[in-house]
Amino acid sequence: MRIPFLSMFMTSPFDSLQEHAEKVKECAWVFQHAIECHMVHNCKSFDGLRDEVKRMEQEADAIKRRIRGHIPVGSLMAVPKFQLFRYLREQDSVLDALEDTLDWISYREEPGIPEQFQKEFFLLIDSVIDPVEELSRMVAEARKYFRGYSDKQRKVVKEIIRNIRKQEHEADRAEDIVKKKVFTAETDPVTVFHMIRLAETLGHIADHAENAGDMMRAMIAR
């Protein structure tokens, strides 16, 4: 028989997990603003937005350390620590992928993302942000599940996980469309390499969101 989290801790680890998920979502919004700014000629605020992403990533790291360091030793937990930490690692990897993408795009200021590829990149960016936004909703609903273990609430969490998986597949398709267009375009090899690597780095954002969903699925499994 599982033991409700709140009966074991003054503060549930899921409270901080929710805080971390909200930070990831906020960071994704700033990231989206930054990369869209980069596509605009003479963008003046890209570096400032990139710095903001880095600052938020550091704040998320502090939350992560708090989660890892404040689970009482020897406490009985409804979810094994290793599952909780594996989930946290994937959720945190979303932030790393956001930061990696901005780093990569900054290495080549001109021509940035050529106009001929921008439409496809906009669609890819939107598709990788969607599953990230779902993470905070998933954690919020999981918190409710671990308070009462109702079948109805478990189905809500599972439905969100299925939606994240579907969104990740849509991101894969958007990534493929970008790659096909880049490889068939008449452009220089350096631009091809930069665009293909950028598409793959963007794809990793959705990959980690899906992995987090899989970890949550394991935590609510019976």
Per-domain residue ranges of the chain: 14-220
> Which parts of the chain sit beneath pLDDT 70?
1-11, 72-78, 110-111
What is the structure's pLDDT at 8?
46
Tens of pLDDT along 113-141? 899 999 999 999 999 999 999 999 999 99
Amino acid 13: pLDDT:
80
Determine the topology of domain 14-220 in CATH: Methane Monooxygenase Hydroxylase; Chain G, domain 1 (1.20.58)
Looking at residue 7, its pLDDT comes to 46
pLDDT digit string (tens) for 201-211?
Answer: 999 999 999 99
Amino acid at 7: S
**pLDDT value at residue 122:** 94
